Chains A and B, each alone.
Chain A
Amino acid sequence: MHVLYPAVLSALLFSIGIYGVLARRNAILVLMSVELMLNAVNLNLVAFDVWLADRLGSGQILTLFVIVIAAAEVGIGLAIVLQVFRNRATISVDSLTELAETAETDSAGDRR
């Protein structure tokens, strides 16, 4: 099998994830897009591991590690999101601008 098929698929999945992270407003949807990006990386790792026929299986074992870290990340991320929702009653990342650097002129218009 040509190595370009998995590589291009993972590149496209990664850009879809980037679009989701940048364009979505709901924090949970942002987390889902991050998961898509991690999956694209996993696909790349497995494809190149199989291509190189690594005897130590580095790519596939690193994929397993990435999956574990993604599970930990989503657990912590959801705990933070729930805490934000408990304090602010919203999880829209656009309205959480407390730490944003806004110029004095457009700060009123920038907040939603």
Chain B
Amino acid sequence: MTAAEIVFVLLGVVALAAAVLVVTTRQLVRAALYLVLSFGAIAACFLVLTAELVAWVQVLIYVGAVVVLLLFGIMLTRAPIGPTSDLDSRNRPAAIVVAVATAGVLVTVLVRGFGDAYVDLGEPSTGSASGIGANIFRYWVLPFEILSVLLLAALVGAIVLSRTDIGPPKDGDG
């Protein structure tokens, strides 16, 4: 095992353990905080894989924005702060079966398909901010612009959904 592999495995163990805690903990707020830990470990995995810009965007958007939004949601739905007993639904055994089956199938396919594939982390990568930026604005401009329109639509949609003083027209039959 190389040093990068050892670091990656350690980070992966942290990410997996935090993810398991997210889906099993009985306290809502702690689930969000374990999610921060998992996302942070995955961002470090990106760094090990030489994808610098993706790692920092992951930290900024996931840890900075998405988790804060989720915490807002937890607070606004008046979730209890202490442990809650009924966070798991009745189909938990079926969920365990499906998850284990998915993991088995995926890991089997990956091991059989990519058993002898090696990543060369030594060569200069395109993961730096300058490389990604040049690629986005040279080859991926159209998807980038479409995404900005999508973000605007999501913004408008969220505002329309969460405001109470605007709604469907009252005089119509809808």
A residues with CB within 8 A of B:
1-9, 11-20, 22-26, 28-29, 31-33, 35-36, 39, 42-43, 46-47, 49-51, 53-57, 60-61, 63-65, 67-76, 78-83, 85-86, 91-94
| B16/A16 in contact, CB under 8 A | yes
Asked if A13 meets B98 with Cβ closer than 8 Å, knowing A22-B91, A60-B132, A72-B150, the reply is no
Q: Determine the distance from Cα of A11 to Cα of B135 in the docked complex, in whole angstroms.
A: 28
| List of B residues within 8 angstroms of A39 by Cβ | 38-39, 42, 62
Measured between beta carbons, the chain A residues less than 8 angstroms from B102 are: 14-15, 18
Instruction: Quote the shortest CB–CB distance from B106 to chain A (angstroms).
Output: 4
The interface size bin for chain B is: 35 or more
Q: Are B107's CB and A82's CB within 8 A? A: no
Q: A13-B16, A14-B106, A81-B77 are in contact. Are A19 and B117 (CB under 8 A)?
A: no
Among A7, A15, A19, A56, point to the contact of B139 (Cβ < 8 A): A56
Residues of B within 8 A of A28 (CB): 28, 70, 73-74, 77, 79
A88 to chain B, nearest CB (A): 11
**Residue pair A12, B107 in contact (C-beta under 8 Å):** yes
Partner among A24, A35, A49, A56 whose Cβ is within 8 Å of the Cβ of B88: A24
Q: How far is the CB of B45 from chain A (nearest CB, A)?
A: 6
